[in-house]
Structures are given as C-alpha cells and as structure tokens.
Amino acid sequence: MSLLPKTSSDFSSSDYWNTFFKTRGQKAFEWYGEYLELSEQLHKYIKTKDNILMIGCGNSSLSADLYDIGFKQITNIDISHVVIKQMSQINAIKRPGMEFTQMDALSMSFPDGKFSVVLDKGTLDALMSDNTEETLERASKYFKEISRVLRIGGRYVCISLLQEHILKKIVDNFANTDWMFRIVRCHEAEHTSNTNEKGMTLPVFVVIATKFKKLPHAILEVCMTGDKIIRLTHPEEIIDAVNSTQNVAIITNGLSKNSLVEKEEVYLNLFVPGKEAPRYTVHVLDQYSSQNSGKFAAFIVPQGRELDWMFSSLEGRRELIKSAGYNRLAVVSLHRDQVYESLDAVKNELAEYIKNLAPKGTHGQIPFLSLGSDVGKREVIHRGHSNISGEFVIEEVEGGDGNLLRRLIFLNNQFVVQSESRLKSVKTRNGKKFVIDPGYLACDHHIYMTVGVQLGLQLVNNKSATASIIGLGGGGLCTFLHKCFPKLFITAIDIDSEMLNIAQKYFDLICDDKLKVHIQDGLSFLSDARKNGEKFDLILFDVDSKDVSVGMSCPPKEFVDENVLSNVGCCLNDKGFFILNLVCRDEKLKSSTIQTLQRAFKNLIAYKLDQDVNEVFFCTNNSVTDWLKEFEKASKLVNTSVINSKLQTKDIVDTNVFLKSLKFYL
C-alpha cells in the first residue's frame, strides 16, 4: 500500500513513476488483471499481424505475454526512463523484436498512421487523475496523439475503470462519426488485482474505438454482461449503461461481504442499455439456519406472478427463503413490456449478475429455482392514460391455479394490482368465450368489507339499505355486492372518469337503478352530502393513495382527517356503519389514525388480515348489546348469500377464525 500515490496528481508525474519502479524493482505490477484475464477481449480486437503500440507500458508483463503467443510487432513506450531500461534488459534476449522507448504519450515522435492498434492498460486512468482544466487539456492532447499515430481502421483499445470524469471525456472524444465506439465489461479482470482500499472489486471495462475517415452516422455499442453487443443511439446512453453497471457493482460488492440477516433486504433494478424501463427487479434477503441446505440460490418469478403475496411483499419473500432453505435468496421479477424467450434464456442472461450477489465463500454452480419450466404468460390487452393516475395497462396473466386473471395496473406503482378479476369460459353459439366472473374477489379485505355490509343490512332489519362506496377501481367489489345483496342500493364515487370507462369496458361493471357511479372527488362528495342532508346506511372507503412516501397506502391520509370523519358520521343513519380498508406500515401514523377514528365513533371493531397489511375497521355510533353475536350472524349470512346467488360454491368466511381475530375498541 505504501507504493500507491499519496496524491492524485502523482499519477501524471514522471518523478513519481521513476521512484515507483526503482522501489518496486523488476516485479510486474498489473493494474487491471493479467493477460489470462484480459485475453478473451484482447483477442477479439487485436490480431497477430497488427502493429501494436503499448502506451504507458510500465513493467507489466502484458507485452511479453502477447509477444510470446505470436504478436511480434509491439512497441512499448513509457514516461519513466527507469522502467524502460528495466524492461529493455529483461526482454532483450527472449524477445529481441520488441521495442522499448522512453517517450511522453502526449508528444510522440512516431509518424502519422504508423500503428494499427494502440493498447492502453490503465494509462488513461493514471493520466486523468482528476477533472481539473489542466488534466482535461492533457487528455485532449493524449487522444489527439493517439488519433494521429493510428491508421484508418486502427483501434484504440483502452482498459479502464472509467471513473465519471474519464468516462465523459472518452465518450466526448470518440462517440462520433469519426470512430466506431464500443465499451465492453471485462468480468474476468475484476477479481485479480483490481481492488480498492476498502476491498471493493471495481468493474473493469475495455474501450474499443476504431478509426474511420467518416461514418454516415455514429456507431455506439456496449456489452455489460455476457457476450451480447447492444447498439445504442445516443452517447448519453453509453454513460448511463456504464454508470448503472458501476452502481450495481457497489451493491453487489456490499452483498458479497456482508450479511442481511439483521436487515430487511436490498433490491436493485437491472436495465438493458438504451432502455428506460428495467428488465428485472432483484430482491436479495438472508436468513440464518443451521439446517439450511445451501448458501445461495436465485428464484425466478414467472411473469404475472410477481404480484402474488409470496413474491411482492417482504413478509412473503421471508416465507419463500424459509421454505427454499438457503442462507441467501435472490428473488427475480420479470417486467412487463419485455420479451423473454424461455426460462433457460433468462437464466443465461442473469447468470453473471446473480454470481455477483453471492455471499463470500459460495462455491460451485448457483441453482436457479422457479415455479415451473417456463417464464409465465402475460398479455397486455389495453394501454391508456388517466389524468389522475397516469399511464396504466389492462393485462391478462395466468394465475397460480391456472386461471386467467385480468388486471388493472398503474405503471407508476406497477407492483401493486389496482383491480383484478378472474375470467371464466362460457358456452356461446360460436363455441366458448371468456367473461368476467362476478363472484371472484381478488382482495381478501373485500370479503370482510362484505361482512360489514351484511351487518349493516341486518341492523336495519334486512330492509333496503343505501351504501356509498368511495373508490371504484375496476368495480369488482361493487359488482359483487350488487349481485350478493338484492336490497342494497349502491352509489360508487371515483374522482377519475377513466376508471368508470375501464370498469364498464374491461371488468363488466353494469350500472342500473341499484348501482350508480358518480365522478367526483370523494371528499367533496361527503362534504356536499352533509350540506344537502343526504344519509346512507353504509359508507365504505376503499381508495388508494397516490403518495407512496407517507407510509399509508389506503386511504390517502387526508381521508382520515377529523373533519372528513365528521362528515362521514353526519352522513350515516343512526344505525349506519362506516367501513374502512386501512393499509398503513407506519406504526406511529397508524396509532394516530386509530385514535382519530375513536374520537369520531363510539364503537370501533377491527379485523387484521393474516398475511396482508390490510386491516378492516367497522365504525359506528350505534350501540349493540352483543357485537360478537351480530358479527357471527353476519358472517354466516354472507356465506349463505354468496352460495344462493351462485357467486361462489363454498363459504368465503371462516367464521370461527374471523370472530377470534376481531379487536374491539369500545
């Protein structure tokens, strides 16, 4: 470590390098890997007939290794006369045709067009030790000299870590119509001598700039993993690709040396260079168990299944790693708007990234796990834009039980299902067709909101009742309640007119005299209803928040404000019920919300779903002698109603479990 420069400016000083090589003696110093690690890339771009200039050769053995396997035309230059003398003496007998000359790369004495290859292994990085004006000017002279001594069709091959200022400078200089420009990541070189002071392995890149008189347009290419070359359009895309690779390397280095057992998990998005949308999302988590069968594995989630609880939630992924039996698991989700040829193709594409996520001490082949032998099915049947919610898609995917599901997904929060319906086949004169199954409830919290609706009905002696539902979505809950309870009159409220179009066109919502939809802000609807003296037997909040930073995703925080809850209370009949779907991960905010609900209503009963963060609150100012008895009756009547109305063929509520899990705030 004492031989490394004390200041960054030393890298461009001939005095520093003279002292360096005198101190180090004849022991080779390899900055970014040796010949064996670099050979695969070098042989692609350098041929034995090439006239090669090794620029800033130092005492690296790379020239000698190339010479020994047939590259006989190699000229080496370096700013240090000490190292040139050393290398001349070492190679004089064994490699008589190899030249060593002390020369400044910024002012070379070679004639124009002498070389077909200029090979730079770390010299640019040493030259551009910072991004001062003086350094940038030196780099410009360096590139000008390289261009001068290269013949047309010649290649500048540069091995570099591509720090930010170096990357920008090299792209600015070569990503134009005078050069064909390519950057390739060299994985093999990253695990030898390339380690910084914190023990972090850094990405090594090979830059290949091929000189032309003039191209019709810039040719820009990258290869960040595997051997697939990707053609890009803009220089900025090259910078983004390299930066993304470097950022991922920071994460993977940390993962290789640290355990996540005491932490939640980490995740990273993997992009195809030139594409704005990620191709994969990888969640990595650890567990400790003396009975684990292995150290590390990757689990590929088929398309359409990434929204299942097991894969979309931290709690689910913890269950997954527990059942898989590994110390570390990388859970890989596949994104929409991407083409995946096969499960094997996905494995091959991910192999290098997954290897970098392995904990220290992992040996052998890393197993890939999945749910089956393919990558799943996903078909987007409609794309649209909402002025309220932004871009969205309607897609059909194959569920875990083989059923076909239709989903509404807002792309600004694409790992959350906004609405989901199951499709069922029905016979027609022309054969079969798929229609929406009205008896399917995608969200378990809708089951318990349905119990609350039944409770409201029985408290008005099962006469006709009115319900206001804030939040339409795809209309699945409204359709279910409409068919389950013939005496219920529903008014659904949604701020987004596009939701009504979606619900009717893609989720078979049918509006009639018992189911109406108003397009209005839910808060202003309640305010207007209070002013106009409107009353309801039931008010349901099933509306999501667009602000994911608050910690409460259902409902928006302002919907549980004291004034809003006061409006709700005033709009309920004496025996009325307010039913709230609450999704809140912020315990402090959740506690505050419950206290606000208690101030607004005399009686508060809650049901927390087992595997979800959803909690359904039943709020009322009505006094009932035996709440458990009423909830038991309601849950049994719901089971009877769904079967009688042919929505389901079996009970949807486990009454005993439901009653035991109720929490009373009376």
The answer to whether 44 and 188 have CB atoms below 8 angstroms apart is no
Residue range 454-494, pLDDT digits in tens: 999 998 887 889 999 999 989 999 999 999 999 999 999 99
Residue whose C-alpha is closest to residue 411's, from 472, 337, 473, 339: 337
Bridge partners, 77 (sequence order): 55, 101
Nearest 10 degrees: CA dihedral of 166, 171, 173, 179?
140
Mean pLDDT of 224-237: 88
> What's the confidence (pLDDT) of residue 191?
60
Q: Where are the domains of the chain?
A: 8-246, 258-370, 378-436, 444-665
Are 391 and 412 contacting, i.e. CB atoms less than 8 angstroms apart?
Answer: yes
Q: What pLDDT is stored for residue 198 in this prediction?
A: 46
Q: Check residue 193 and give its pLDDT.
A: 46
Omega within 30 of 0 (cis) for the link into 555: yes
Cα torsion through 517, 518, 520, 524, rounded to 10 = -110
Same fold, 8-246 and 444-665: yes
pLDDT at 9 over 70: no
Of the candidates 28, 25, 67, 30, the one whose C-alpha atom is nearest the C-alpha of residue 46 is: 67
> Half-sphere exposure (CA, 13 Å, Cβ side) for 643?
11
What is the third-level CATH fold of 8-246? Answer: Rossmann fold (3.40.50)
Tell me what pLDDT residue 548 has: 63
Q: pLDDT digits over 604-650, tens only?
A: 999 998 766 789 999 999 988 899 999 999 999 999 999 999 999 99
Kindly tell me if the per-residue pLDDT of 28 is higher than 80: no
Q: How far apart are CA 488 and CA 380, in angstroms?
A: 35
- Residue 34 in this model has a pLDDT that exceeds 50: yes
Residue 610 CA to residue 532 CA, distance in Å, equals: 40
Say if residues 397 and 304 touch (Cβ distance below 8 Å): yes
Q: How many CB atoms lie within 10 A of CB 351?
A: 16
Domain spanning 444-665 has what CATH number? 3.40.50.150
Count Cβ atoms below 10 Å from residue 458 Cβ, excluding itself.
14
Predicted confidence at residue 17, as pLDDT, reads 43
Structure tokens at 293: 């069968």
* Packing angle of the helix pair 14-24, 81-91 (nearest 10 deg): 40
Quickly list DSSP for 223-292: E-STT--EEESSHHHHHHHHHHHHHHHHHHHHHHH---TTS--EEEEEE-TT-SSEEEEEEEEE---TT-
Average pLDDT over the chain, rounded to whole? 88
What is the reported pLDDT for 541?
Answer: 96
In angstroms, the CA 210 to CA 175 distance is: 10
pLDDT for 607 equals 95
pLDDT above 90 as % of the chain: 61
Over residues 295-327, the pLDDT tens digits come to 899 999 998 888 888 888 888 898 899 888 898
